[in-house]
Amino acid sequence: MKTQHTKYSILDLALVSQGHTLKQTYNDALSLAQHAETFGYTRYWLAEHHNAHNIGSSATSVLIGYVAQGTNTIKVGSGGVMLPNHSPLIIAEQFGTLGSLYPNRIDLGLGRAPGTDRETAQAIRSDFMDAAHAFPNELDKIQTYFSKENATSKVRATVAEGVEVPIYILGSSTDSAHLAAKNGLPYAFASHFATTHLWNAIDIYRKEFKPSKDLEKPYVMAGVNIIIADTDEEAQRLFTSLIRMIVGIFTGKRDFVQPPTEMTPDLEEIIKNPQVHQMLKYSFVGSKSTVKAQVKTFMEQTQADEIIAVTNIHDVKDRIRSYELFSEIMKELN
């Protein structure tokens, strides 16, 4: 049975809702982070994606700075930066700068996926596949650039040297579990959409973990979809926006986040589709009491050190209310 305190955090894509501008989307992201700070959330992460008109978090480090500037204590970071898209030197310079501007508040979560389609990945970096295969070495470069010892090297990220910016390894399969364990870094698994390998990945990470100067023991973070409202019926209504978004992913017809509608038999059938059902396996939808029971079971099963909540619904007021209720659940379970 779990006894330690479990932190709770937010992962955001700055999704653009139908009828909203990008500026409004960014303002809503900041508003959510400001509320999350008062609700006791540990961190607010933004995920890098490209060539998707319904996702506003493509310039991830810029948006992190915007959110950090408008908040006071909550940690702000990337969940993650897709490192093969970038030069490790540039990422070290960006996050070293952020770390100096907002001391002890900036996280650098790193992933190896492109966060986009193949053509766009090639447009971002022509040698993307080589960079993806070199992810462990690219990680070493990042760590070197942040070290004080690199001050004597010919190539330096001078604004990063000695700046405290914790590095997290993101994963949606078992590959990154080995890497996080080998390097003694915290591990965040994307179980809010990549559910198949959750248990194997966590097991590999914990068994192979080697203590480092950054971390003495394994630290597991797990993503879940959370949609909470005052009633089960209202939560199911809000859920319809996420269902339509998932359909858009599978059909290749991505669209802005649609306003919610009443749950229909057609939408209920879509949820039962094996692919959709698997993708939404760790989606907890309902009233506070309903979701509390689901979250409690998930925490007991995973023994996760931190839960990262993802709430992809249309209206920011509904999102803020859902995150408020989730924070109440986590405080009660802790």
The pLDDT tens digits along the chain (334 residues) read: 445 699 999 999 999 999 999 999 999 999 999 999 999 999 999 999 999 999 999 999 999 999 999 999 999 999 999 999 999 999 999 999 999 999 999 999 999 987 778 888 788 777 878 878 899 999 999 999 999 999 999 999 999 999 999 999 999 999 999 999 999 999 999 999 999 999 999 999 999 999 999 999 999 999 999 999 999 999 999 999 999 999 998 888 889 999 999 999 999 999 999 999 999 999 999 999 999 999 999 999 999 999 999 999 999 999 999 999 999 999 999 9
User: Is 122 domain-assigned?
Assistant: yes
Instruction: Say whether the peptide bond before residue 70 is cis (omega within 30 degrees of 0).
Output: no
pTM over 0.85: yes
- Closest Cα to residue 309, out of 290, 278, 283, 276? 283
- Closest Cα to residue 41, out of 84, 89, 76, 13? 76
User: Is 267 domain-assigned?
Assistant: no
Residue 60's CB is within 10 A of a number of other CB atoms, namely 26
- pLDDT of res. 1: 42
What is the four-CA torsion angle of 47, 283, 200, 206, rounded to 10 degrees?
70
- pLDDT of res. 2: 47
Which residue range is the domain that position 70 belongs to? 7-227+286-333
Place of tokens 């050190």: 305
User: Is 291 domain-assigned?
Assistant: yes
CA distance 30 to 76: 11
Residue 291, amino acid = V
Provide the number of structural domains found in the chain. Answer: 1
CA distance 301 to 275: 23
- pLDDT of res. 251: 87
Radius of gyration of the chain (CA): 19
User: Is 258 domain-assigned?
Assistant: no
Cβ(117)–Cβ(51) under 8 Å? yes
CA distance 28 to 34: 10
User: Is 281 domain-assigned?
Assistant: no
Across the chain, where does the E strand assignment appear?
A: 7-12, 43-46, 75-82, 106-111, 167-171, 187-189, 220-228, 283-286, 306-310
User: Is 188 domain-assigned?
Assistant: yes
- Closest Cα to residue 282, out of 264, 299, 265? 299
What is the four-CA torsion angle of 311, 314, 316, 318, rounded to 10 degrees?
-70
CA distance 219 to 193: 20
User: Is 159 domain-assigned?
Assistant: yes
- pLDDT of res. 128: 75
Residue 16, amino acid = V
CA distance 101 to 211: 29
Pairing status of strand 7-12 against strand 306-310:
parallel
CA distance 77 to 104: 11
CA 204 → CA 127, 219, 265, distances in Å? Answer: 30, 13, 40
Spatial CB neighbours of 40, under 8 Å, sequence gap ≥ 6 = 8, 327, 330, 331
Whichever domain contains 127, its CATH number is: 3.20.20.30
- pLDDT of res. 162: 97
- pLDDT of res. 186: 98
- Closest Cα to residue 57, out of 71, 70, 46, 44? 46
Tokens for 57, please give them.
């978090």
CA distance 109 to 45: 8
- pLDDT of res. 236: 97
Tokens for 124, please give them.
């971002």
Task: Identify the bridge partners of residue 106 per DSSP, sorted by sequence position.
Answer: 76
- Closest Cα to residue 326, out of 3, 10, 1, 31? 10
| Residue 151 per-residue DSSP state | G
User: Is 117 domain-assigned?
Assistant: yes
φ/ψ bin of 223: left (φ > 0), alpha (ψ from -120 to 50), beta (otherwise): beta
